[in-house]
C-alpha cells in the first residue's frame, strides 16, 4: 500500500515539476519578448533624439 502511495507521489511530483518547467519556459519567452520590445522602444527613442538633435543643430 505504501509503495503505491510513494509511486503516486513521485508521479505527481514529476508532473508538477514539468508544469513548473513549462511555466518558467513560457515566462522566460514572454520576458525575452518584452525585453526585445523595450529595447526596440529605447532604440526608437534614441533615433528620435538623434533626429531631434540633428534638426535642432543650426
What was the pLDDT predicted at 1?
A: 59
User: How many structural domains does the chain have?
Assistant: 1
The parent domain of residue 41 ranges over: 1-58
Q: How far is CA 9 from each of CA 1, 14, 38, 40, 43, rounded to the nearest angstrom?
A: 12, 9, 42, 46, 50
The pTM of the full predicted model, rounded to 2 decimals, is 0.39
Question: In 1-58, which ranges are E strands?
Answer: none
Tens of pLDDT along 1-58? 577 777 777 778 887 887 788 778 777 788 788 878 888 888 888 888 887 777 776 5
Amino acid at each position: 500500500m505504501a509503495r503505491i502511495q510513494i509511486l503516486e507521489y513521485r508521479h505527481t511530483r514529476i508532473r508538477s515539476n514539468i508544469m513548473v518547467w513549462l511555466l518558467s519556459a513560457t515566462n522566460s519567452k514572454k520576458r525575452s519578448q518584452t525585453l526585445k520590445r523595450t529595447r526596440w522602444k529605447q532604440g526608437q527613442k534614441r533615433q528620435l533624439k538623434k533626429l531631434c538633435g540633428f534638426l535642432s543643430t543650426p
